[in-house]
């Protein structure tokens, strides 16, 4: 019997338990004068009985599935021939996988040798037992649990208390999944980073100005220095983020002000969803828009400027060099991408400014633009800053556009017309393709990931602090 059938049976069983619990509580209620003489409602008794039946059975299935492999393994190991037990960890694992192959009918026992036959037989029989025993046991547990639940259906027993307690535990488990996942990610990245920092000194990483992660595989290999200075990546990331923000913040803010203060409700109902469509465009689409449309256009205009500069003897223009993978193109497109973040968050905080403040300003004879500049905007400023910081952490973490449009050259430059690379791009290139997971090159990706995580976390914390401060202002 496979797992899904078993789960279906368990669910069906608990549905039956629900029905029985409901009927039973009604039965109890009748002689004592109706449902209102029970400690709680029949649905709670029914739910309680369902949970009694369902939870132990599910737990059994879960732990059985997780543990039975390990238990069977250790039992099989004990029936291996003596010489196999003396083997090293890796070789033993190899033997075990061969045993399990033979047991499931792939390959013949002759490859292993007849002395392994008992182990194979043992594995076959144990697996068969496990497969038969689990459903049987699960069913027994289900029935037993239901019986326990049935006994708890009494007029004086407040089943609601039990049900709500279990429900509390369940929702707590759900909410902690996200938290534990975050911790899991942090720790996995952290441990790999520690491995990396055992190979590369921490300060070489943090303060180095040269990024060239190729490591020589042969001693005589040329052009593979393997230096891991993160500064060029940071500068590239910040450069692109700054360009993006310098587009997104003014445009987003102005559109938020227009939408919340000037637009008629009809215009607003059309324009706001349109703006939010921008947020729904996949970043990969922005990526090829940047790489195939914006970047060539910028280079084209840059070339024309250079020609014009050469004709008119303007030296600095004549020397203008525009890379086809420029930070400018990437930043501009990324800026367009985060406009909805800024505008939608700013719109919310501007709308949250009480109308009474606007009325107060109008009543003093202020015009609409004076009111916005001097009252609404300052009042909304902390919230707007929060929104901008969230947009900034989005820009720093953005990967797809930069991978496609910014290039891989780790130049340490602040010239937006040159190609730069970012932390995220390097993580992608370090991990794409076949990699050995113990070289400094691969581990560097984790260190970069940790670094990025710390930066965006800091930005988010600041953003939340600012937003929180703002919330306290009117109360």
Partner 1 sequence: MNKAQQSMAEIVKETYQTVGLPLLDDPKIRVRNANVFYADKQAIFDVNLDIGKNQVISMIGPSGCGKSTFLRCLNRMNDTIDICRVEGDLLLEDEDMYDKKIDVVELRARVGMVFQKPNPFPKSIYENVAYGARIHGLTDNKVQLDELVETSLIRCGLWKEVKDRLNEPATGLSGGQQQRLCIARAIAVNPEVILMDEPCSALDPIATATVEELIHELSENFTICIVTHSMQQAARVSQRTAYFHLGKLIEVNDTSQVFTNPEHQLTEAYITGRIG
Q: Which of 428, 427, 429, 407 is nearest to 419 (CA)?
A: 407
Residue 370 as a binder of partner 1 (CB under 8 A): the answer is: yes
Neighbours of 423 (CB within 10 A): 22
256 contacts 347 by C-beta, under 8 angstroms: yes
**And the tokens for 252?**
């987003």
Residue 162 as a binder of partner 1 (CB under 8 A): the answer is: no
Instruction: Say how far residue 17 (Cα) sits from the centre of its chain.
Output: 38
Residue 474 as a binder of partner 1 (CB under 8 A): the answer is: yes
Q: How far apart are CA 381 and CA 467, in angstroms?
A: 10
CB under 8 Å to 134, separation ≥6 — which residues? 6, 60, 61, 64, 65, 68
Residue 352 as a binder of partner 1 (CB under 8 A): the answer is: no
Three-class secondary structure of residue 9 per DSSP: helix
Residue from 29, 366, 409, 428 in contact with partner 1 (CB under 8 A): 366
To the nearest whole angstrom, how small is the minimum distance from the Cβ of residue 60 to partner 1?
Answer: 60
Residue 360 as a binder of partner 1 (CB under 8 A): the answer is: yes
DSSP assignment of 331-381: HHHHHHHHHHHHHHHHHHHHHHS-HHHHHHHHHTT--HHHHIIIIIHHHHH
Closer CB to partner 1, 268 or 306, in the complex? 268
Residue 122 as a binder of partner 1 (CB under 8 A): the answer is: no
Q: C-alpha angle 364/365/367, rounded to 5°?
A: 125
296-304, 354-362, 391-399, 446-454 -> range binding partner 1 (CB under 8 A): 354-362
The 70-109 site mask, x for binding partner 1 (CB under 8 A), equals ----------------------------------------
Closer CB to partner 1, 247 or 385, in the complex? 385
Instruction: Say how far residue 283 (Cα) sits from the centre of its chain.
Output: 16
Residue from 367, 437, 438, 471 in contact with partner 1 (CB under 8 A): 367
Residue 473 as a binder of partner 1 (CB under 8 A): the answer is: yes
Q: How far apart are CA 27 and CA 446, in angstroms?
A: 63
Q: How far apart are CA 412 and CA 233, in angstroms?
A: 8
Residue from 115, 303, 359, 438 in contact with partner 1 (CB under 8 A): 359
341 contacts 252 by C-beta, under 8 angstroms: yes
4-12, 56-64, 229-237, 370-378 -> range binding partner 1 (CB under 8 A): 370-378
To the nearest whole angstrom, how small is the minimum distance from the Cβ of residue 383 to partner 1?
Answer: 12
To the nearest whole angstrom, how small is the minimum distance from the Cβ of residue 354 to partner 1?
Answer: 7
Residue from 74, 114, 264, 315 in contact with partner 1 (CB under 8 A): 264
**DSSP conformation class of 290:** I
Residue 201 as a binder of partner 1 (CB under 8 A): the answer is: no
To the nearest whole angstrom, how small is the minimum distance from the Cβ of residue 175 to partner 1?
Answer: 35
Task: Report how many residues bind partner 1 under the rule CB under 8 A.
Answer: 22
To the nearest whole angstrom, how small is the minimum distance from the Cβ of residue 341 to partner 1?
Answer: 25
Three-class secondary structure of residue 93 per DSSP: helix
Residue from 55, 231, 242, 357 in contact with partner 1 (CB under 8 A): 357
Residue 266 as a binder of partner 1 (CB under 8 A): the answer is: no
339 contacts 246 by C-beta, under 8 angstroms: no
Residue 267 as a binder of partner 1 (CB under 8 A): the answer is: no
Q: How far apart are CA 404 and CA 416, in angstroms?
A: 16
132-140, 152-160, 215-223, 374-382 -> range binding partner 1 (CB under 8 A): 374-382
The binding site for partner 1 (CB under 8 A) comprises 264-265, 354, 356-367, 370, 374-375, 378-379, 473-474
């Amino acid at each position: 019997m496979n797992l899904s059938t078993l789960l279906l049976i368990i669910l069906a069983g608990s549905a039956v338990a629900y029905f029985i619990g409901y009927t039973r509580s009604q039965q109890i209620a009748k002689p004592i004068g109706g449902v209102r003489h029970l400690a709680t409602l029949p649905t709670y008794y029914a739910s309680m009985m369902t949970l009694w039946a369902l939870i132990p059975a599910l737990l059994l299935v879960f732990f059985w599935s997780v543990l039975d492999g390990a238990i069977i393994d250790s039992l099989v190991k004990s029936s291996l021939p003596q010489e196999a037990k003396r083997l090293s960890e890796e070789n033993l694992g190899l033997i075990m996988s061969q045993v399990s192959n033979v047991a499931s009918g792939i390959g013949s026992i002759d490859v292993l040798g007849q002395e392994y036959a008992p182990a194979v037989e043992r594995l076959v029989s144990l697996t068969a037992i496990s497969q038969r025993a689990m459903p049987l046991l699960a069913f027994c547990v289900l029935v037993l649990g239901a019986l326990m639940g049935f006994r708890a259906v009494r007029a004086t027993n407040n089943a609601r208390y039990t049900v709500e307690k279990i429900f509390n535990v369940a929702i707590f488990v759900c909410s902690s999944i996200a938290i534990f996942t975050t911790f899991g990610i942090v720790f996995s990245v952290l441990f790999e980073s520690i491995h990396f920092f055992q190979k590369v000194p921490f300060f070489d990483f943090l303060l180095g100005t040269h990024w060239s992660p190729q490591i020589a595989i042969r001693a005589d290999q040329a052009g593979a220095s393997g230096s891991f200075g993160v500064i060029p990546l940071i500068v590239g990331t910040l450069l692109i983020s700054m360009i993006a923000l310098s587009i997104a913040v003014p445009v987003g803010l102005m559109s938020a002000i227009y939408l919340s203060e000037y637009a008629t409700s009809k215009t607003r109902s059309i324009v706001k969803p349109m703006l939010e469509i921008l947020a729904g465009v996949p970043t990969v689409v922005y990526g090829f828009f940047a790489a195939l449309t914006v970047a060539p256009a910028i280079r084209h205009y840059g070339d024309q400027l250079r020609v014009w500069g050469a004709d008119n003897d303007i030296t600095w223009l004549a020397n203008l060099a525009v890379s086809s993978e420029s930070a400018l193109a990437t930043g501009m497109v990324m800026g367009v991408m985060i406009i909805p973040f800024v505008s939608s968050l700013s719109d919310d905080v501007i709308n949250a400014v009480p109308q009474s403040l606007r009325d107060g300003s109008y009543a003093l004879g202020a015009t609409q633009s004076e009111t916005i500049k001097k009252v609404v905007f300052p009042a909304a400023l902390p919230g707007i800053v929060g929104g901008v910081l969230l947009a900034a952490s989005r820009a720093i973490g953005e990967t797809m556009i930069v991978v496609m449009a910014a290039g891989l050259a780790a130049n340490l430059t602040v010239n937006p017309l040159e190609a730069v690379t970012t932390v995220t791009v390097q993580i992608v290139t370090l991990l794409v393709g076949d990699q050995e997971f113990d070289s400094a090159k691969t581990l560097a990706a984790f260190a970069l990931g940790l670094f990025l995580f710390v930066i965006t976390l800091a930005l988010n914390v600041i953003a939340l602090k600012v937003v929180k401060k703002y919330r306290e202002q009117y109360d």
